Amino acid sequence: MATTTTTTTDSINPTNTRIGWIGTGVMGRSMCSHLIKAGYSLTIFTRTRSKAQPLLDMGAQFASSPLTVASSSDIVFSIVGYPSDVRSVLIGSSGALNSLRPGGILVDMTTSDPSLAVEIASAASAKGCSAVDAPVSGGDRGAKNGTLAIFAGGDESVIRKIQPVFDCLGKVNYMGGAGKGQFAKLANQITIASTMVGLVEGMVYAHKAGLDVGLYLNAISTGAAGSKSLDLYGNRILERDFEAGFFVNHFVKDLGICIMECQNMGLALPGLALAHQLYISLQAHGEGNLGTQALILALERLNNVSLETKKASTTTILSLTRTLNNHHHHRSMATTTTTNTDSINPTNTRIGWIGTGVMGRSMCSHLIKAGYSLTIFTRTRSKAQPLLDMGAQFASSPLTVASSSDIVFSIVGYPSDVRSVLIGSSGALNSLRPGGILVDMTTSDPSLAVEIASAASAKGCSAVDAPVSGGDRGAKNGTLAIFAGGDESVIRKIQPVFDCLGKVNYMGGAGKGQFAKLANQITIASTMVGLVEGMVYAHKAGLDVGLYLNAISTGAAGSKSLDLYGNRILERDFEAGFFVNHFVKDLGICIMECQNMGLALPGLALAHQLYISLQAHGEGNLGTQALILALERLNN
């Protein structure tokens, strides 16, 4: 709101504004410390005085009750546990409003009932005061860093007036009248809930597939599965650090409010319902005081597995990988690449490419611009015309491509296509010279990747499975996350080619690249469910969905999926960066692999069914962001 703030904000400054604060838990302590450091005078109440001691040591004053806080304050902030607590400390018989002077302002930052926010605003107005509902997102780290996303509801002029105080805590976003801040925060929680389901399901799948989970998390962080939840909680889960930045108990409370509001609205959000039940299962095991990242425990129990056994290796390797990446931006393997990579360059390496669809065209263009000679095969020649105009040669078949290439890349639709173009009767391997390399970048069956690697080895060649993540934008920008499986020396050798396309991550032997990509798709699937459910909820609650998306982008609900698809959904742009049909294929492979592993991933199963519903409506050739259509139909 900074660009539209009026001169009324000039009256709010540390010299003439006394602040009261009720609740100094995990979030509140850090938030108060920012205000004290900014020079504001604080009077604090919390039920357990010891929790406030660090703030008292910084100069804050302690009050015996909310009444006492308000009697010496111009603005009273509260961030407590439950709606009942909000009611008690603000408008109850001993609540702050009873002693707040006319013109005073109540600011509740608890995630609470929208209807209660409206009630508080009405009660404050009747006493000549104002009230703002301003719940926050960003977790304990956002509170510590002063980078919270703040969802503000109430009189806009009041919110502008107190913006200098909000600016000490994070970024304020005006969402509308009383209660709208709460509605926005609840939509945010809906999005986070399914994102967390996707994160932990992807981790369990990666573990069960024999991947190093630390390397897997590092690999997906730069692609379409990246999210603030991954940034906040990925390492903590690996380190078995379940200390609460945000309590499970409080998250269950938030999701329970969402469930009740959905019932009141007549709104069905199956991803929310599933996440709510999974988090309740943590409470059933006495884990309500752990942090929300403890959701991994529910999935581990469900599947009789534990990631704890790999704790030491994953955290060490993840730390090492990040150190290497600090020195080598897009070359996570660069520090260990041997001199044989010197033989790979545009002057002596001929590249073949099979498949020039949405992703393939952009990827080929990067290689041509880097100076590589390309021979291309695609079933529809017109799709390759832009590349032919850039100097690529067209071949009549995969056999012809391979006969004039040192490395043959493929990125096609389905496993059956991969088999046909690489090892079928007219496949590339049949004419590839000994020493040649096949690189399949399609998302496909891990077992097929192993079969192709074996067939290539028998002919004196090599094969790498290297599916990618990052969507059409990642392909266009050359910033794809590449999950590579196969002989590590071969992958190192061809890294200069991968570097034209994005960041390569070595995941292990043949098939491991595919397993990593499938885990990535599991994570994306539930993240997309959370994104569109949050948008539908925000719309039903009467919010401006564009403002809502902008608000959550800086908090804990932020994700690459939001960045890639939020605006496209708003603009009803369902053009495929990645086809629904192909995503259903990917999730179907995941489902089958889970069945083979004896692995239950309910979030994956739900997302798979929702995407299949798009196919049932003839929408398989739309982009994955078209998932919003399934939720719109479900809710009329």
Q: How many CA atoms lie within 13 A of 203 on its CB side?
A: 34
User: Residue 63 and residue 22: Cα distance in Å, rounded?
Assistant: 9
Residue 311 is among the residues annotated as catalytic for this protein: no
As a whole number of angstroms, the distance between CA 556 and CA 538 comes to: 17
SS3 of residue 622 by DSSP: coil
Mapped to the 3 state alphabet, what secondary structure does 95-150 carry?
A: CHHHCCCCCCEEEECCCCCHHHHHHHHHHHHHCCCEEEECCEECHHHHHHHCCEEE
Whether the CB-CB separation of 112 and 133 falls below 8 Å is answered with yes
- Which amino acid is residue 209, in one-letter code? A
Residue 126: phi and psi, rounded to 5, are -65, -20
Structure tokens at 419: 């088999």
CA distance 407 to 394: 16
Cβ atoms of 62 and 49 closer than 8 Å = yes
Whole-angstrom Cα distance, residue 437 to residue 421?
14
Query: In DSSP terms, which residues pair with 503 in a beta bridge?
Result: 481
Tell me how far apart the terminal alpha carbons of the chain are, to the nearest angstrom: 34
- Which is catalytic among the residues 144, 180, 185, 208? 185
Bridge partners, 512 (sequence order): none
In which residue are the tokens 């930045």 written? 245
Angle at the Cα of 497 from the Cα atoms of 493 and 498, rounded to 5 degrees: 90
CA distances from 101 to 76, 106, 239, 243, 263 (A): 11, 11, 49, 39, 38
- Reported as type and span, the H/E element at residue 515 is helix 512-540
Residues tagged active-site: 185
